Amino acid sequence: MEGPRGAKREELSEIIELSNKVFRSELSGDMGKEFPLLFSPENCENLRIIKEDGKIVSLVGILFTDLVILGNRIRASLIGSVATDPGYRGRGFASLLMQDSIVKSLQEGADLMLISGGRGLYRRLGAVNAGLYKSFHIPRSKLSSSNLTVRKVKEEDIPVLLYLMNLEPVRFERSYDELKKLINTGMIVNEPGDVWVVEKDKEIFSYFAIQVQTRWGKSLHIREIGGSREAIIDSLLSILETYQNDFILLDALLSDESISYIMEKKGIQPEERGFQGTVKILNLKGLFKKLEPYFISLLGEEYKKLTVKFEPSLSLRYDEETLDIPKDDTPILIFGSVEKKIDIPEKLNKIKRIIDTIFPIPLVDYGLNYT
């Protein structure tokens, strides 16, 4: 066995071939073209591989990126394309590569790991489903026409899109070149899709990325939004007419009160969902440090009274009250979860008040950055 190690540039085509064999054997498409940031020559060191019998047989892809969460920049590793050749499964290669990916992520300064999957492999390593989101099922009957125009995004729109993205309180950091590549894939969260802009008199108010699923009958699913929520909703009848569909799904962060207010006026209630994968906190102390300005902004001088210890587990102490949280539950405490709730004893009323004030923190949804 050779590895785990980072790939060499000359091995990139073989890596893409393995990924296609695992993920595109029954589907059309090419992983290299659909995920150009992950499968790029510049990212080869972060494509962690194992070779056996002179060929690459197992892969874990890492893509490092910065997240902005409520004004705080957090380094994250995105894990995707976890693949083992069918003839070499059952030998623990994926587990070795995931452990190697954790080490590599820590070396690169990542505090958080987002994994596009919920396999037992990830959960055994302490990853859990965390993050709170909502989906709205919007029928044609709830929509009306407007004087807004919708059209597919053009390259010259990218600066405006980046401006709108930068106004979002929870987002992925994207450069011009990165966004251009992501748009040009024609993929939204591992399915074909399009990015649209909403405008009036050539002024762009909003954008959204819509997934067009056709394998089980056509369905439309908006997986990322930015800009005016009202303009997006006012444009949806035109979108349904364009795709000749009778309803559309729209995803948003649970914390997005603007979209909830608009939907409530239309009599549409959301369904809560979790992150489309699993989350592992790599460096809890580092994550708390990055989020400290947010904590201080909400708690003021009271934050100084809060004592936080990170080993062997997260321990919060306020006055005479102490709450200990197991390591694997820390993403659930910080970002919330639809799978599990953190029960705080009633006697810890001061700690509970602190926790209810600062948590849960919204977590990015994949959208264009699915890996």
Residue 213 is predicted with a pLDDT of 80
Q: Quick check: is 354 in a domain? A: yes
Task: Give the DSSP per-residue string, 32-90.
Answer: HHH-TTTTSGGGGGGEEEEEETTEEEEEEEEEEEEEEETTEEEEEEEEEEEEE-GGGTT
Identify whether residues 51 and 179 lie together within a single domain. Answer: no
Give percent above pLDDT 90 in the chain.
96
Token digits for 288?
Answer: 């708390």
Identify whether residues 81 and 175 lie together within a single domain. Answer: no
pLDDT in tens, 257-316: 999 999 999 999 999 999 999 999 999 999 999 999 999 999 999 999 999 999 999 999
Identify whether residues 327 and 259 lie together within a single domain. Answer: no
Residue 101 pLDDT class (50, 70, 90 cuts): very high
Residue 215 is predicted with a pLDDT of 66
Q: Quick check: is 121 in a domain? A: no
Span 50-65, mean pLDDT? Answer: 98
Residue 216 is predicted with a pLDDT of 64
Q: Quick check: is 325 in a domain? A: yes
Identify whether residues 352 and 236 lie together within a single domain. Answer: no
Q: Which of 1-5, 27-31, 196-200, 226-230 has the lowest mean pLDDT?
A: 27-31
Identify whether residues 14 and 40 lie together within a single domain. Answer: yes
Residue 214 is predicted with a pLDDT of 66
Residue 217 pLDDT class (50, 70, 90 cuts): low
Identify whether residues 305 and 174 lie together within a single domain. Answer: no
- The domain of 103 spans 2-110
Span 57-79, mean pLDDT? Answer: 98
Last residue of a domain, one of 79, 110, 141: 110
Average pLDDT over the chain, rounded to whole? Answer: 96
Q: Quick check: is 318 in a domain? A: yes
Q: Quick check: is 323 in a domain? A: yes
pLDDT in tens, 102-149: 999 999 999 999 999 999 999 999 999 999 999 999 999 999 999 999
Q: Quick check: is 221 in a domain? A: yes
Task: Note whether 39 and 16 are within 8 A (CB).
Answer: yes
CATH number at residue 195: 3.40.630.30
Last residue of a domain, one of 236, 254, 273: 273
Q: Quick check: is 172 in a domain? A: yes
Identify whether residues 156 and 211 lie together within a single domain. Answer: yes
